[in-house]
Amino acid sequence: MSKTRIGVVGCAGRMGRMLIAEIAGSGDCIVAGGVEAPSSPNIGRDLGELAGIEPLGLAVGGDRAALFAASDVVIDFTVPAASVAHASLAAERGCALVIGTTGLDTAQAAALQAAAKRTPIVWAPNMSLGVTLMTDLVEHLARRLDAEFDIEILEMHHRHKIDAPSGTALALGQAAAAGRGIALDGVAQRTRDGQTGPRRSGDIGFATLRGGDVVGEHTVIFAAEGERVEISHRATSRRVFARGALRAARWVVGKPPALYDMKDVLALR
């Protein structure tokens, strides 16, 4: 069988470098190429050397269209506006796409939905297999535990993260709301400050911490009178996200056009 050709956009970033190393060491996939902004000082560098492995004989490029044309699937951990542009490019080129970008607004999410009508796209705020299973468990618990259990979500990330709450925290909130059969927007409590009064029954609360080099920590708390259930996930290396993205990339190639997530990849629905 031929190996899956995987391209990486944002290949000089922390996730991009890990992805290059994971793909190169996979055995059943090959690095099709990697691109950065044309102004990047990394243009022309060998992708393998950039990723801290043996040279691959492939240079960092700046032509995204050429990368999509050369790949079976492209992996994107960039920023919302870029991910939307890449989804459109993937649809034009008939290339599958895996997106791990967080912080997309409603219009940007709708743009991904539109592109996914023409090509298969996996979009997940967290590519970790453990977080995917945690999300499934949160929905199950929210469905089984009645409204006497208040739901609070705590997350912590490194000081450089630019969006809050994290995409993963919001996905966990969506899972809890789905378990309760309600819309998250109507019950989400994202800030508390000053004289807030008692907690409103049925709310799903979010608390955000930022500091140091924390890769990602998430805890969902179900608190009732006399007992509390907590589910936590801690990522100590970004490699878990790279491994999950690679699994998604293998899975999505050849799938019909649609917008998928990691639950689809792990056959949880």
157 is catalytic: yes
Alpha carbons 84 and 179: distance in angstroms, whole number: 29
**CA pair distance 144, 227, nearest whole angstrom:** 15
Q: Does the annotation count 3 as an active-site position? A: no
Integer-rounded Cα radius of gyration of the chain: 20
Q: What is the DSSP letter of 249?
A: H
Q: Which of 86, 117, 140, 157 is catalytic?
A: 157
Look-up of token digits 């290059």: 20
Using the structure block, give the residue that is written with the tokens 């992708």: 47
Three-point CA angle 199, 203, 206, nearest 5°: 90
165 prior amide bond cis, ω within 30? yes
DSSP of 191-233, one letter per residue?
A: ---SS--SPPTT-EEEEEEE-TT--EEEEEEEEETTEEEEEEE
**Catalytic residue among 140, 160, 161, 255, which?**
161
Q: Taking Cα atoms as reference points, which of 223, 174, 217 lies closest to residue 201?
A: 223
Name the residue among 180, 175, 201 with its Cα closest to residue 189: 201
Catalytic machinery residues: 157, 161
